[in-house]
Structure 1
Amino acid sequence: MAPKLTEDEINDLLYYARTGDKEEFDILKNELCKRGNVSVVELVRAARDEQSGNGVLHMAAANGHHALLAELCKALSVPSPQNPTMLSILNSQNSAGNTALHWAALNGHLESVKVLLEQGSDPTITNQRGHDAVYEAELNDKKEVVEWVLKEGGEGLEEGVSGETGEGEAETDEEMGEDDNTAEDEQSKKIAEGMKQMGLEEGKGKS
């Protein structure tokens, strides 16, 4: 049974996940679960932006809030770790085909990447551009993430990293809510254009 959430309630959940305000997120989460007599799993599954397809895991991952991600994954692991419902939420794609793992990886949030992979996120899922999470990390020069995922993530990922890089396909931390001091040049303009196509500008948040 899906809880009936207003647009404002969904926006608030996404906002708190994006800013990493765990206390406010928990207060609202508990209030909504009690009101609708629903589980955290049902709430998280329902709390998605209708237009962008972004969920609370996308927002927390995009901004590196690994502690909140770990707490949510713990709640999702009922009745058992990596159950079908949990995996479907972890690997849900937004309107541009990006999972929470894509966002954590392309922003270089290694601890968030570790949480997501350990909890069952699929690193081989590709977005609408045909890129898996580790390839997005490589495009954004997040070497620490690339090296760790290739070492710990299993087989089948090297091919994604060796793919061709297309124009305007990388994203910047600035667009995803992180600080970025990159000079504004022609390449950054191309990146911004690519951003819009990938649907990643919705991940903006306060750093």
Structure 2
Amino acid sequence: MPPNMTEDEIDDLLYFARTGDKEEFESLKNELCKRENVSVMKLLQTAKDEHSGNGVLHMAAANGHNALLSELCKALSVPSPQNPTMLSILNAQNKAGNTALHWAALNGHLESVKVLLEQGSDPTITNQRGHDAVYEAELNDKQTVVEWVLKEGGAGLEEGVAGDSGEGEAEMGEKDEDMDNMNEDEESKKVTEGLSQMDLQEGKGKS
């Protein structure tokens, strides 16, 4: 049975993941797992924003909270590293088709990208625009991420990034909807960094 969490409790989990507040996140996570008698895996499978489909890993990855990502992956590695349930959570796509790796890559958070790939994230998954994570990084001028992933990922990913040069030029001009929206004050910017226009239009813009 999935855990019976309120909308506010799910929002709080996502919020603490977005802000990188490990202490608050761990406290709430442990409280909910104990109350509902469920594993961390089951909790993370359920804790998603109903409008955007973003989960806890999306929020942490979008804002570069690699320490929190590492802790979550450690918890997901029971009973074994890269078990099927763990991989399904790591590679879960939101309603725009983006995985946590997409978010980390397109925002240039290299350390988070490394954590996710080392733990089993699939760099070949494409979003609704047909872009994999490294292609999103290239479109958003995150060259450090592009170079590292291509070095680690091999020729197949390099071919995906090269793609159709005409398409690449057109999209570079318009940017992905997954970026933008950075006009808030400093506190709001910290909370909402990494959220896309698409996701905001679907109702995820609230703090």
Which stretches of structure 1, 4 residues or longer, exceed 4 Å deviation after superposition?
Answer: 175-179, 200-206
The answer for the alignment partner of 2:32 in structure 1 is 32
Distance (Å, rounded) in 1 between the aligned partners of 2:147 and 2:108: 11
Cα distance change on mapping 1:25 and 1:149 into 2, 3 Å: same
Aligned residues: 191
- The correspondence of residues 83-162 of structure 1 with structure 2, limited to 5 A, is 83-162=83-162
Cα distance change on mapping 1:34 and 1:9 into 2, 3 Å: same
* Residue 159 (structure 1) shift: 2.0
Gaps of 5+ in 1: 180-191
- Whether the 8 Å contact between 2:49 and 2:204 is mirrored in structure 1 is no
**Paired residue secondary structure (1:157):** helix
Distance (Å, rounded) in 2 between the aligned partners of 1:8 and 1:205: 12
Question: What CA deviation, in whole Å up to 9, does each residue of 1:156-202 have, x standing for no partner?
Answer: 111221132225233248389469xxxxxxxxxxxx9xx534x3777
Distance (Å, rounded) in 2 between the aligned partners of 1:205 and 1:20: 17
Cα distance change on mapping 1:145 and 1:75 into 2, 3 Å: same
- Whether the 8 Å contact between 2:52 and 2:204 is mirrored in structure 1 is no
Structure number with the higher helix fraction is 2
Cα distance change on mapping 1:15 and 1:178 into 2, 3 Å: closer
The answer for the alignment partner of 1:196 in structure 2 is 197
Cα distance change on mapping 1:113 and 1:131 into 2, 3 Å: same
- Whether the 8 Å contact between 1:40 and 1:75 is mirrored in structure 2 is yes
1:174 aligned residue (182, 189, 206): 182
Gaps of 5+ in 2: none
Cα distance change on mapping 1:20 and 1:134 into 2, 3 Å: same
* Residue 110 (structure 1) shift: 0.2
- The one-letter code of the counterpart of 1:161 is V
Question: What CA deviation, in whole Å up to 9, does each residue of 1:102-142 have, x standing for no partner?
Answer: 00000000000000000000000000000000000001100
Distance (Å, rounded) in 1 between the aligned partners of 2:97 and 2:122: 13
| Greater displacement, 147-156 / 163-172 | 163-172
Distance (Å, rounded) in 2 between the aligned partners of 1:78 and 1:116: 16
Distance (Å, rounded) in 2 between the aligned partners of 1:145 and 1:121: 15
The answer for the alignment partner of 2:44 in structure 1 is 44
- Whether the 8 Å contact between 1:177 and 1:205 is mirrored in structure 2 is no
* Residue 153 (structure 1) shift: 1.8
* Residue 203 (structure 1) shift: 7.3
